[in-house]
Amino acid sequence: MYFSISKQNFYKPLDYISGPAQGAGQDSINGNVLLNVIKNNNLYPNIDSQYVLELVCTDNDIEMKSIIGIYSDEVVEGGITVKVKSLLDIIKSFEDETFITIKYDESELEKDYIECGEYLCSSDKLVNKKKQKEQEIDYHD
């Protein structure tokens, strides 16, 4: 999975749908968000991009979904789940006009990591790549 998106187009929809996930228990998959990049193929006719990013959070009673058009030149389809709190914290830390590139490549990284700028984000931790691995931030607080 590979795509680029502006902070403004990514943060607001993610924050909006994250309610069910943020109320989930620490060890629950429900604390995650599904990031799924797919070809639009007119699945969402009101979005004029070739690819879309589906954001999905649930607490098993309520599912919230947001669809965002991806307009970057290079896009690779795929999907992964990560802790919504970790991802929101990363995105919030960037300047408003920042373009964020999300990269997930199973052959290059540990299976459960995505790359987001200078960070690695997994289902349970956030790592700043510029610092040593020992300085991992654990989000199970």
| Single pTM value for the model | 0.77
Query: What's the mean per-residue pLDDT of the chain?
Result: 79
Q: How far, in Å, CA of 74 to CA of 39, rounded?
A: 13
Strand-strand pairing, 78-83 and 51-58: unpaired
Mean pLDDT throughout 41-67?
A: 92
Q: How far, in Å, CA of 98 to CA of 5, rounded?
A: 9
CB of 43 closer than 8 Å to CB of 52: yes
Tell me, what CATH number does 49's domain have? 3.10.150.10
Q: How far, in Å, CA of 89 to CA of 61, rounded?
A: 25
CB of 97 closer than 8 Å to CB of 7: yes
Supply the range of the domain harboring residue 32. 2-138
pLDDT in tens, 78-103: 998 888 888 888 888 888 888 888 88
Instruction: Report how many domains make up the chain.
Output: 1
